Structure 1
């Protein structure tokens, strides 16, 4: 028998599985208070998924308010959309707006690697569509356990295939991202996906159900039993090493359906027949109905039995909780319904009227003529509990910070330094990632200007004017482990610098904050410190936070991942023909190091690789003033055609940047270490606000004057050569063949056994 609202009123003591659905006792009591009765089974299903950590942000929203206090303006003008919308939207000039966002799909990708990763891409693409934009590119940031670990051998190939398979089928280039390995991610990989879309200003749309009598239309794929409570529940619990006996099923993606849905949705917007649009992500129909209704000026009435089903045996609760993919919900004026349906039919996209907007403030859902949901939608979508969870600085942190990497023994002679370089190059976190990126189509659609392994991805927006955008994603869990405040700022600085090194102007960020259990006071302290770091860093750099994602409960058997705040930076370049690439391109060019190198080896790749994953001391210290000056210099030099190449210094320091710049185009280099620090520190320190550039030797004096005017220190350290080697004068020379072999071997060798 279906549990109706009337039945709920007359049976207040009926037992309900609130605990099995992830609700706490006080949360269940709060729901009863809000309703003035016990919830029906359907209402309980809605509240359980919408009040999950993944959907409600109940442990984080108190602290995320700090982002909203930032000025909602970019260097290019006010934000067009920001926190609280499906995705952030930025004015990039010439009447164009770009919308972008990052989200996590960590837990589903562990359970079912291919589909978990694929549907993560699909979900973030629909967020971009819901704003009225055409998706134009994707990026992904992936973290795994040790490269040679059995679980990594299981999840890495499937996740990479899922990201590539879904994005390739959609015809979206994957232009950048990251791939990292650490023991803390064993059993809990991170899959963070970013999508960017473009539209004209007038095409921007928001998800608000307005207009009494307007029709509510579900269009796209039919609803199935896959993904019932999937991401919403999976992302709100921790894992055991052997896995719980029962988990929600992971969604199954159909990229070809999503491709039709993209084209259909864009034509619907172009035809002017959509009043509001909401994608179906975590929490499915529960999310789409409650969020549309709560954001609008009225209520909503829906007939749940009208929802097209792939499985006719599904219960109302299952239909409401299903996270089946490739679905959207639109609000359409009655006079536009026929045209709406015609467009859907043209694209062979199923569309069904399931309800209408009402004048009251209620969300009412019927099942075969009986009311099974009657709620204030705001209590479902926005009035979830808000937890101010305890925070505690870890007692172990002082001990870790005291065990400083700067105190570790240094290589002194040339051979030791050459061996150290080869070991760092051959470590999984530094090694060539093309085994992964070659599975992605980076150039489909023909507007990819830069893509991996470049510092930033770049997409042409306008083919006549060559207006473009650049994007970079960066995170460093080792830095954040040592100091989450500084670690978040260093991720921000690196993404800012990567975009600047492409010649673009950094303008705004999205974030994806990956942490352990919020019920652990030490994790909450890390989380809050990271937010404080980002707020202070964004204030210093003058870039707003447009939105993002929080992923908690990333732990296995009580062991938390390293705090991993990811920053996705958007930049704007007025002419993509002025872009900068990272590889040396002309023998005889001067090699110049911009910025100052300090004794900063805490959290470095050198420390990790040479000392058996040692992690101690403090990470490098950000210098926001230096970053801004450096970015301005690079933008001007790119526009003036001064530089031949630019490559930021980050993991592995000068040594890795130098080798990567050589290997990109097969050119050698002869350099002299310029500073007073020991050779090991000069080669491997990870001091931020540094970029390695090359330029024609005849232009060096003018460029040096520009650097002086901009307040950017520089040192001319060598020349690009035709010799097939990297020579550090007075210390060592290593052939490009030897360097390439060390750099390119690790990941393919590990994956051969899979």
Structure 2
């Protein structure tokens, strides 16, 4: 078959093309023909198909995501917002921090190890491309039922992939979550986040400017792995027949990525690049079109100069390949020799594959024949925009009316004690140490807090002890009951976690995981969650700096729970003042901050004890969250508290259990007037935290809470080797530790 050149495409307008197999709709294919004034070549069709996929173009979500810009709060810290590889915020002392969360869901179901490993690799390169040194990763994960055979296949591979890649890069894994629910059975969520640090003047953007500047591809050779990954895997619904798309999963090499990181940072230090882009989803199609689109000219690329692992690859396959550990840089001619010299020093392959032109077209050649001639913006930034129909599902009212508050409650102290143990030992509330111990959390020596703390924290300046904290949260059960409130609760919990560690919340990244956008009910969930998150970020003053949308997370007709995962980044002036969750000295006083109400919709108790999901999630009060955050941050900075733990899944008893086990000291608790022991222990009311206060600081602390109007109830004392609920029951720390720590190893070890 002869090469499909631009001339040949012009001369053969009626030639049949595999647009449907590449994931394009007929009207999209017609639109491409309209843009070009002819049929596309095979290479052009490949580029449009991957760049117009759901994963790259956000064609179903764009109309809703605009709210993050329209409702963005005034925030002096924001240096780079939505639209770049990652957002950047000012954290003081001349430092900037870049952070982002991405998804690698479908590849991780097909090939758990490589899917998860390359998810880490991809998000690290996004951070690197901003000009920053990556300093830590986080991993919010969702799996099917903990005892399902396929979870036993997927989870160990995913965890090994995250640990294997991140540990080899020497990046500490400081946070994340692991949640089990049958709704994720055929669609695990493998979200990955990364934090990077740089000085303000080192920020780099993805643009190709300056005619005559060279386009340099450097890093690993291009192979056949990951071809069409974003269009084949991430932009369609799985059938219930299971894994059958292994070739579309990328294969990672962390040692190559480590060389790429150090090589790139040295290139940055010598100021050798005018623009840079990592190669992730859509590979060279993405890097070339986005760089050219964001620049002020065109670009010419000679595709046959691309270093290959497989000489049999066609031009279309080279353009679609998602081979890992690759970057694309724009370099002035006078700096090319030094650029290549540094790459050679780090044993990184680097090749000049083209140059920036003074035109307005992206032109790609194959052995002298032109195979691509397109306006780059139409590929990268002017794809389809769908206003998909959406409607509140018919079942939503019945779900909300099925109130969890009506479920049978324990009638005796013995029953209450047994239910506490059952919740603490349930897969979602149990210790995840078997998982997190496979990650290096302390490599580089700057980790201040890591799992199972409320937030991960990293020191970024050894002399001043300046640091940043990050927490990720997202309760799919809450969002199923009410997507608007569920998204706000995800933000509120991550915000609260960061504040509980002593850091001031600054900005947000998100990973919005939903089912098929072609289902009006799913689209309603997405619209509501996006609106809820945008409204809440506006009220809390934490702008969304970027993120990711992952759609088509469903098997057949069954969608996952709507799962907006929210990452909050915070800054702390002095990491030595941080607050851990573990109870310390005996005799310290325990205070419950916030109001406790009868709120059990979507709760851990309703799930574990009754296998029930119904009612409304806890009410959201963002002003209370802000006030609680301010109190926690001030108390941490001024030495008024020794430990703090936010209250969320599992309620007060879960938080107290975790703090007691973490610190190795028990607690004696008294049920406050007006509350039943059951509500006191299991309510999941938001806007709450438990803190331990040294007796010498009690008056100062309670005066501060009183002056600011935050309810602070003394509920007990740090004491002994068990948790005693006065007048109800006692549980020894040994019994709690066994219940809490043995569940996950028993399932997966």
Q: Map 1:678-697 onto structure 2 (within 5 A).
A: 678-697=676-695
Asked if 2 retains the 8 angstrom alpha-carbon contact of 1:72 and 1:78, the reply is: no
d(CA) in 2 for partners of 1:229, 1:298 = 28
d(CA) in 2 for partners of 1:344, 1:668 = 56
| 1:170-209 Cα deviation digits (max 9, x unpaired) | 0000001000000000011000000000000000010010
Match of 1:381 in 2: 380
Q: Map 1:299-448 onto structure 2 (within 5 A).
A: 299-448=298-447
Partner of 2:615: helix, strand, or coil?
A: coil
d(CA) in 2 for partners of 1:68, 1:581 = 34
Partner of 1:445: helix, strand, or coil?
A: helix
Match of 1:60 in 2: 61
Q: Which of 659, 662, 686 is 1:661 aligned to?
A: 659
Partner of 2:241: helix, strand, or coil?
A: coil
Partner of 2:384: helix, strand, or coil?
A: coil
Asked if 2 retains the 8 angstrom alpha-carbon contact of 1:599 and 1:677, the reply is: no
d(CA) in 1 for partners of 2:463, 2:71 = 35
| 1:413-463 Cα deviation digits (max 9, x unpaired) | 211111010000011100000010000000000000000000000000100
d(CA) in 2 for partners of 1:373, 1:332 = 22
Residue 634 (structure 1) shift: 1.0
Partner of 1:313: helix, strand, or coil?
A: coil
| 1:349-394 Cα deviation digits (max 9, x unpaired) | 1000000000011000000000000000000001111000000101
Match of 1:537 in 2: 536
d(CA) in 2 for partners of 1:146, 1:530 = 24
Q: Map 1:20-35 onto structure 2 (within 5 A).
A: 20-35=21-36
d(CA) in 1 for partners of 2:697, 2:11 = 85
Residue 245 (structure 1) shift: 4.7
Partner of 1:580: helix, strand, or coil?
A: coil
Residue 711 (structure 1) shift: 1.6
Partner of 2:16: helix, strand, or coil?
A: coil
Residue 410 (structure 1) shift: 1.4
Flag as ranges the 4+ runs of structure 1 deviating above 4 A: 244-248
Residue 244 (structure 1) shift: 6.5
Residue 246 (structure 1) shift: 4.8
Asked if 1 retains the 8 angstrom alpha-carbon contact of 2:123 and 2:192, the reply is: yes
Q: Which of 717, 729, 740 is 1:743 aligned to?
A: 740
d(CA) in 2 for partners of 1:284, 1:675 = 61
Tell me whether 1:517 sits opposite 2:516 in the alignment: yes
Match of 1:470 in 2: 469
Partner of 1:175: helix, strand, or coil?
A: strand
Asked if 2 retains the 8 angstrom alpha-carbon contact of 1:412 and 1:679, the reply is: no
d(CA) in 1 for partners of 2:650, 2:736 = 14
Match of 2:649 in 1: 651
d(CA) in 1 for partners of 2:538, 2:318 = 44
Q: Map 1:90-109 onto structure 2 (within 5 A).
A: 90-109=89-108
| 1:552-593 Cα deviation digits (max 9, x unpaired) | 000012100000000000000000000000010110100111
Match of 2:201 in 1: 202
d(CA) in 1 for partners of 2:534, 2:10 = 47
Asked if 2 retains the 8 angstrom alpha-carbon contact of 1:198 and 1:461, the reply is: yes
TM-score (norm 1): 0.98
| 1:59-99 Cα deviation digits (max 9, x unpaired) | 0011100001133643xx24111100100000000000000
Match of 1:226 in 2: 225
Match of 2:86 in 1: 87
Match of 1:130 in 2: 129
Considering only aligned residues, what root-mean-square deviation do their CA atoms show, in Å? 0.9
Asked if 1 retains the 8 angstrom alpha-carbon contact of 2:99 and 2:127, the reply is: yes
Q: Which of 612, 615, 619 is 2:613 aligned to?
A: 615
Partner of 1:224: helix, strand, or coil?
A: coil
Tell me whether 1:671 sits opposite 2:669 in the alignment: yes
Asked if 1 retains the 8 angstrom alpha-carbon contact of 2:73 and 2:538, the reply is: no
Asked if 1 retains the 8 angstrom alpha-carbon contact of 2:476 and 2:564, the reply is: yes
Residue 412 (structure 1) shift: 3.1
d(CA) in 2 for partners of 1:72, 1:88 = 15
d(CA) in 1 for partners of 2:53, 2:271 = 35
Residue 700 (structure 1) shift: 1.0
Tell me how many residue pairs correspond in the alignment: 748
Partner of 2:313: helix, strand, or coil?
A: coil
Asked if 1 retains the 8 angstrom alpha-carbon contact of 2:73 and 2:541, the reply is: no
Asked if 1 retains the 8 angstrom alpha-carbon contact of 2:223 and 2:321, the reply is: yes
Residue 248 (structure 1) shift: 4.6
Residue 242 (structure 1) shift: 1.5
d(CA) in 1 for partners of 2:247, 2:56 = 15
d(CA) in 2 for partners of 1:340, 1:72 = 40
Tell me whether 1:243 sits opposite 2:242 in the alignment: yes
Match of 2:181 in 1: 182
Asked if 1 retains the 8 angstrom alpha-carbon contact of 2:72 and 2:544, the reply is: no
Match of 1:38 in 2: 39
Partner of 1:681: helix, strand, or coil?
A: helix
d(CA) in 2 for partners of 1:603, 1:511 = 22
Match of 1:640 in 2: 638
Asked if 2 retains the 8 angstrom alpha-carbon contact of 1:602 and 1:619, the reply is: yes
Match of 1:18 in 2: 19
d(CA) in 2 for partners of 1:85, 1:649 = 35
d(CA) in 2 for partners of 1:246, 1:631 = 46
Match of 1:252 in 2: 251
Asked if 2 retains the 8 angstrom alpha-carbon contact of 1:107 and 1:231, the reply is: no
d(CA) in 2 for partners of 1:520, 1:221 = 40
